[in-house]
Amino acid sequence: GDSVTQMEGPVTLSEEAFLTINCTYTATGYPSLFWYVQYPGEGLQLLLKATKADDKGSNKGFEATYRKETTSFHLEKGSVQVSDSAVYFCALSVYYGGSQGNLIFGKGTKLSVKP
C-alpha cells in the first residue's frame, strides 16, 4: 500500500547548521507530497508542498524537491535557527482510480536547535 518513511529523530543541531530530514514514499498512483511542521503545543501547519515530479517546494528557507526516480522528498535548510525547533512531518496523498486519497503522515522528526 501507500506509505511514507521519514528519518527517525530526534535531531539536534547548532544554530546556522545545515539541515536534512529524509523522506521516502511508496505510492500506487500519482503522489502529491507535503511537509508539515508542528511547533510545541500547537497544531500542524503546512510548510511546503509539491504536486508533480521535479517540483520544488520552498518556504521560510526550507526546500524539498519531489524526486520520482528515488521516490524521495527530503527537507533541507541551509542555516537553521533556534526558532526552527519543532516536529516535522512528511505526508503523502495519492491520486488513483479517479480520486485523491487522504493524507498519509510519516511518524515525525523532532528537531532541536541549540544556540
Partner 1 sequence: NAGVTQTPKFQVLKTGQSMTLQCAQDMNHEYMSWYRQDPGMGLRLIHYSVGAGITDQGEVPNGYNVSRSTTEDFPLRLLSAAPSQTSVYFCASSYTGVTNTQYFGPGTRLTVL
> In whole angstroms, how close is the CB of 33 to partner 1 at the nearest point?
10
Which is closer to partner 1, CB of 56 or CB of 114?
A: 56
Is residue 108 a contact point for partner 1 (CB under 8 A)? Answer: yes
State residue 111 phi and psi, 5-degree precision: -110, 130
Nearer to partner 1, 43 or 115 (CB): 43
Q: Are 18 and 79 in contact (CB under 8 A)?
A: yes
Residue 73 or 93 having the CB closest to partner 1: 93
Instruction: Note whether 113 binds partner 1 by CB under 8 A.
Output: no
Cα 69 to Cα 14, 74, 87: the distances in Å are 32, 13, 27
105 binds partner 1 (CB under 8 A): yes
CB contact at 8 A, 63 and 56: yes
57 binds partner 1 (CB under 8 A): no
